[in-house]
């Protein structure tokens, strides 16, 4: 089996220093997502975007990122993963700096699109480089555990940093904080990361790029349109065209000896279980953070800084559990760790639904911690995804994993967020008015404030119930797909 062409790492400290750069870059990208959650109310108050524009401000980044992951990962296999990563850092920094000129919802959406381009260049290359840096499966699982912990740390730091910045500066600072961090990442990456390429890179064919990007963007847009307007002709047409495009792309990949995306990896049930774990947890977790942040600020009256601190338990759970998940998997088995992690997350989500009304924050904090702790198993899930793929297909495996996270984020906002909206509106009286019906923020200071905040609390609890069901189903499917005796040493392809 061919190995990726990689500069020799002279010593373990150099290898782990390279991991530090990769993990820190992930931290910044995740932090950017959570900072926006805290900054969104201030941004909405300043720019007054429509409801559709608000969704696009949140979703433009993951939509673009998900659409570009496949061609960018294939290009990185040829061009060099280090080059692609450093270029992504630069794009991310420039896009963040341009927020100084953003004075409309459209401008912010354009910036989020550019950030999505940078994110697509950063995210899969970090996983591909970890695959190249750590050929030993056990050591790689530890590295991926640290990588996952940094994602949790980004979730923890983001709301706090965002809250502190918004206490002093405008919402623009939520973007500008990326600039110095990306400059440091570029400088460190130049000196600490090896170059890595695939010796058998997939074909980067123009029809495949059009089909994959068009299909991914179309599917995501159809989901968003469905959540806002229900089943109508545009939704059906876009969904059908997007699904046909993705079907054609998959068939094209299956007929090529070195495809742009190694979709054949899905033939492995263990690989599928890793992808399913990432997709399901991302869907639920992003929706929980988005709705939870709005509940803290609009219902409980927390400031952005307080809301950021109040969301800390979710990231703290992941930060604590992620480094220990590989060692636990070595002791009790990969299947047990992944399914147990999903079950712990399910219990945490169920707690939110079962808590008395009004929701006590102490109970919500425990629930958030459990969801984060359950997500700690995703480091082992990453080991399944990256380890079950041959070395020359590391780029495809990384792209598929990142697609799982990003599609999950879009599904969480579009589907679970929309269900929360339906539950909220169903609890309002018929004469509540358009502003109160549009969002709970529009009901504040009116005669409908009390019933609106109570209804939004119910919608938050509904997200907990649906999320718990999703986690339970994912846990059962993972249990069926992963062999009982599979160990981390067996994960290596």
* Domain finish residue from 255, 284, 317: 255
Q: Up-side HSE of residue 72: CA atoms within 13 Å toward CB?
A: 30
The pLDDT of residue 8:
43
Question: Quick one: DSSP state of residue 300?
Answer: S
Longest dimension (CA), the chain: 71
Do residues 373 and 321 touch, judged by C-beta distance below 8 A?
yes
Residue 105 lies in a domain: yes
**Global pTM value:** 0.81
- Domain boundary among the residues 222, 237, 255 is at 255
**Structure tokens given for 465:** 């119930």
pLDDT at 352: 93
Contact 129, 192 (CB under 8 A): no
| 62 and 197 assigned to the same domain | yes
**Do 237 and 159 belong to one domain?**
no
Same-domain status, 79 and 91: yes
Note the pLDDT tens digit of each residue in 475-485: 999 999 888 87
Judgement on whether residues 227 and 263 belong to the same structural domain of the protein: no
Nearest CA among 456, 413, 465 for reference residue 287: 413
Q: Residue 339: which H helix or E strand, with range?
A: helix 334-354
Contact status, residue 78 vs residue 227, Cβ threshold 8 Å: no
Q: Phi first, then psi: what are they for 170, rounded to 5°?
A: -85, 180
Name the stretches of the chain with pLDDT < 70. 1-13, 33-34, 37, 152, 155-156, 198-203, 224, 227-230, 431-434, 436, 438-439, 442-443, 445, 447, 488-493
- What are the b/e assignments for 63-97, b being 16+ CB within 10 Å? bbbbbbbbbbbbbbbebbbbbbbbbbbbbbbebbe
Residues 375 and 232 in one domain: no
- Which helix H or strand E contains 197, and what residues bound it? strand 196-197
Does some domain include residue 1?
A: no
Q: Within a domain: residue 245? A: yes
Residues 198 and 220 in one domain: no
Residue 307 tokens, joined: 């809301």
> What one-character-per-residue DSSP string does 402-450 give?
HHHHHHHHHHIIIIIHHHHHHHHHHTS-TTS-HHHHH-HHHHTTSTTHH
- CA-nearest of 389, 117, 450 to 261 is 389
Q: How far apart are CA 405 and CA 409, in angstroms?
A: 6
Do 209 and 188 reside in the same domain of the chain? no
Place of tokens 């496949």: 70
- Give yes or no: residues 366 and 483 share one domain: yes
Report yes or no on 194 lying in a domain. yes
Residue ranges making up the domain that contains 412? 9-203+256-491
Residues 6 or more apart whose CB falls under 8 angstroms from that of 140 comprise 130, 131, 134, 383, 386, 387
Separation CA 211–CA 417 (nearest Å): 28
Closest CA to 452 of 426, 415, 481: 426
Residue 2 lies in a domain: no
pLDDT of residue 353: 93
**Is 417 a member of any domain?**
yes
User: Is there a domain that residue 50 lies in?
Assistant: yes
Q: Are residues 57 and 128 in the same domain?
A: yes
Percent composition of the chain: helix, strand, coil (DSSP 3-state, to 5): 80, 0, 15
Q: Tell me, yes or no, whether 227 and 359 share the same domain.
A: no
Domain at 187, CATH number: 1.20.1250.20
- Which ranges of 169-267 does DSSP label H, i.e. alpha helix? 173-176, 178-192, 206-229, 233-254
Residue 127 sits in the same domain as residue 209: no
Angle at 416 between CA 414 and CA 420, to 5 degrees: 110
* Residue 358 and residue 465 in one domain: yes
Predicted pLDDT at 201: 62
Number of structural domains the chain divides into: 2
The answer to whether residue 281 is domain-embedded is yes
| pLDDT number for residue 3 | 41
Alpha-carbon distance of 486 to 140, in angstroms, equals 16
For residue 86, whether the previous peptide bond is cis, meaning omega lies within 30 degrees of 0, is: no
């Amino acid at each position: 089996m061919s190995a990726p062409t990689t500069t020799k790492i002279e010593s373990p400290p150099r290898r782990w220093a390279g991991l530090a750069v990769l993990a820190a870059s992930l931290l910044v990208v995740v932090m950017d997502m959570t900072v926006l959650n805290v900054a969104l109310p201030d941004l909405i108050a300043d720019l007054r975007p429509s409801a559709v524009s608000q969704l696009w401000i949140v979703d433009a980044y993951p939509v673009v990122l998900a659409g570009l992951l496949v061609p960018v990962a294939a290009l990185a296999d040829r061009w060099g993963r280090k080059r692609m990563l450093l270029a992504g850092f630069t794009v991310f920094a420039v896009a963040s700096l341009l927020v100084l000129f953003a004075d409309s919802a459209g401008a912010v959406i354009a910036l989020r699109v550019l950030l999505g381009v940078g994110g697509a260049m950063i995210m899969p290359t970090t996983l591909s480089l970890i695959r190249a840096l750590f050929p030993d499966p056990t050591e790689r699982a530890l590295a991926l555990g640290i990588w996952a912990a940094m994602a949790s740390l980004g979730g923890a730091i983001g709301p706090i940093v965002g809250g502190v910045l918004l206490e002093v500066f405008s919402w623009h600072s939520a973007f500008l904080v990326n600039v110095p961090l990306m400059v440091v990442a570029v400088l460190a990456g130049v000196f600490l990361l090896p170059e890595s390429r695939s010796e058998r890179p997939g074909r980067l064919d123009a029809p495949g790029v059009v089909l994959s990007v068009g299909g991914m963007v179309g599917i995501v847009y159809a989901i968003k349109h469905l959540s806002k307007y229900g089943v109508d002709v545009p939704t059906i047409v876009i969904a059908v065209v997007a699904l046909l495009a993705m079907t054609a792309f998959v068939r094209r990949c299956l007929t090529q000896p070195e495809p742009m995306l190694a979709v054949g990896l899905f033939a492995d049930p263990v690989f599928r279980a890793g992808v399913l774990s990432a997709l399901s947890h991302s869907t639920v977790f992003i929706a929980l953070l988005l709705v939870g942040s709005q509940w803290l600020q609009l219902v409980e009256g927390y400031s952005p800084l307080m809301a950021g601190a109040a969301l800390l338990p979710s990231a703290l759970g992941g930060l604590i559990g992620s480094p220990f998940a590989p060692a636990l998997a070595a002791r009790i088995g990969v299947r047990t760790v992944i399914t147990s992690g999903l079950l712990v997350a399910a219990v945490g989500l169920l707690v939110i639904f079962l808590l008395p009304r009004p929701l006590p924050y102490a109970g919500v904090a425990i629930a958030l911690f459990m969801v984060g702790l359950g997500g700690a198993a995703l480091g082992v899930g990453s080991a399944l995804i990256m380890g079950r793929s041959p070395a020359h297909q590391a780029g495809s495996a990384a792209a598929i994993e990142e697609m799982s996270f990003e599609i999950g984020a879009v599904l969480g906002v579009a589907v679970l967020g929309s269900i929360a909206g339906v539950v909220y509106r169903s609890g309002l009286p018929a004469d509540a008015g358009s502003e109160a019906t549009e969002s709970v923020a529009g009901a504040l200071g009116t005669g409908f404030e009390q019933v609106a905040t109570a209804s939004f609390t119910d919608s938050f609890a509904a997200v907990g119930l649906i999320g718990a069901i999703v986690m339970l189903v994912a846990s059962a499917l993972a249990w069926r797909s992963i062999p009982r005796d599979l160990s981390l040493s067996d994960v290596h392809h």
